[in-house]
């Protein structure tokens, strides 16, 4: 689902959404992943994917299918300096060390956006666990040519949140079987690079 949404393949996203919901994915889980999508593939892809989820849910409802709604975030999202602190703590925990470097010195705004918005606003939302967020992120990045360094970083993050190399290899197989061989290759190579740089 995350891969097709990131790729902008709405027809295949429709099928994946139906399969996910049929398998027990909640509406909240699907919606949360498609909201998170914008941080990796942009607002247009996220908005289009959310619109498709709405269409899928309406069609399912007309067929008499009542999908589980899931849960909304419970914990309030911090604001201001507290959001920056929470995002910085989340980013450090996810990546295993504080993040700094020449890129962030050159463009401090992107550092603040990553910390406050991605790792703050999004990763503070407690209705989807970090492992699920990382599986979605890796799937999204795998279909985006040119995002290999971010894909490799998120392979490491995935392991930092408790996913095993074996589980990530399974994900590459799912990508090969359900998405395409290029996405699978990018994911597999990123995983191997991540494992070799530990």
Q: Is 97 left (phi over 0), alpha (psi -120 to 50) or beta?
A: beta
Q: What is the pTM of this model?
A: 0.93
pLDDT per residue rounded down to tens, the chain (198 residues) = 999 999 999 999 999 999 999 999 999 999 999 999 999 999 999 999 999 999 999 999 999 999 999 999 999 999 999 999 999 999 999 999 999 999 999 999 999 999 999 999 999 999 999 999 999 999 999 999 999 999 999 999 999 999 999 999 999 999 999 999 999 999 999 999 999 986
């Amino acid at each position: 689902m995350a891969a097709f949404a990131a790729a902008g393949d709405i027809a295949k996203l429709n099928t994946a959404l139906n399969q996910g919901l049929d398998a027990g994915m909640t509406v909240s889980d699907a919606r949360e992943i498609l909201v998170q999508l914008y941080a990796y593939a942009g607002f247009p892809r996220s908005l289009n994917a959310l619109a498709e989820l709405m269409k899928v849910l309406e069609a399912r409802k007309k067929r008499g299918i009542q999908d589980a709604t899931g849960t909304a975030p419970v914990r309030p999202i911090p604001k201001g300096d507290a959001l920056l602190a929470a995002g910085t703590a989340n980013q450090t925990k996810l990546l295993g060390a504080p993040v700094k470097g020449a890129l962030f010195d050159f463009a401090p705004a992107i550092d603040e956006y990553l910390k406050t918005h991605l790792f703050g606003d999004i990763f503070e939302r407690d209705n989807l666990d970090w492992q699920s967020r990382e599986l979605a992120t890796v799937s999204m990045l795998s279909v985006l040519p040119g995002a290999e360094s971010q894909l490799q970083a998120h392979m490491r993050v995935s392991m930092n949140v408790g996913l095993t190399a074996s589980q990530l290899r399974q994900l590459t197989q799912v990508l090969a079987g359900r998405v395409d061989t290029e996405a699978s290759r990018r994911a597999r190579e990123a995983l191997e690079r991540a494992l070799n740089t530990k």
